[in-house]
Amino acid sequence: MLLTVVVTAVSVALLGWALFLVAVARARPDGGVDGGMARIVPDMLRLLRDLARDPTLPRSIRWRLAIAVLYNAQPLNLIPDFIPVLGLVDNIVVTAWALRAAMTAAGPEAVARHWKGTPDGLAVLRRVIRLRAAEAPADSGVALP
């Protein structure tokens, strides 16, 4: 029984990562990717944290980010994580919902200020969460899709 649960949990986690990697691969820049693309998840988590701590953002956006983090951290979700594929979809949707709202409200300057990864990584993240390129300043140094 325990072995079945462990194998199922590991399988679901691997399948979720595989689906995320497929989405990232489909959204990668046309010129290919560099080694920094492997760091998109840690960079995205740092961006979530830094945007949640940014006092210039509206409180409602910071609350939305906190809700996304708490939803992903707590063991009971709307769709339990042990259900193959669907168990991780709700976590991804909640995270994308919060991140998209925060990035839209913060604007390209704040996102560029908090983004610790490569410009290609930010471009891929924007494509994955279906966020169109905003009017970024020409001298920001961030490549937006």
pTM here is: 0.61
Domain assignment present for residue 66? The answer is: yes
User: Quick check: 110 pLDDT over 80?
Assistant: yes
d(CA 69, CA 94): 9
Mean pLDDT taken over the chain: 75
Average the pLDDT over 133-140 and give the result: 44
Residue 141, in any domain of the structure: no
pLDDT per residue over 3-14, tens digit each? Answer: 787 777 667 666
User: Per the domain annotation, does 12 fall within a domain?
Assistant: yes
pLDDT confidence of residue 135 = 38
Say if 55 falls within a structural domain.
yes
Instruction: State the total domains in the chain.
Output: 1
Give the pLDDT score at 144: 43
Q: Flag whether 78 is in a domain.
A: yes
Residue 142 in any domain: the answer is no
List the structure tokens of 140: 């920001």
Q: Per-residue pLDDT for 142 more than 50? A: no
Please give the average per-residue pLDDT across 114-138, as a whole number.
75
pLDDT tens, 24-67? 666 555 555 445 556 777 888 888 888 888 898 899 989 998 88
Question: 98 pLDDT exceeds 50?
Answer: yes
- Segments forming the whole domain that contains residue 78: 2-128
Q: Answer whether residue 137 is part of any domain.
A: no
Query: Among the residues of 28-137, which ranges form H helices?
Result: 40-53, 59-73, 86-114, 119-128
Answer with the residue of higher pLDDT: 21 or 85: 85
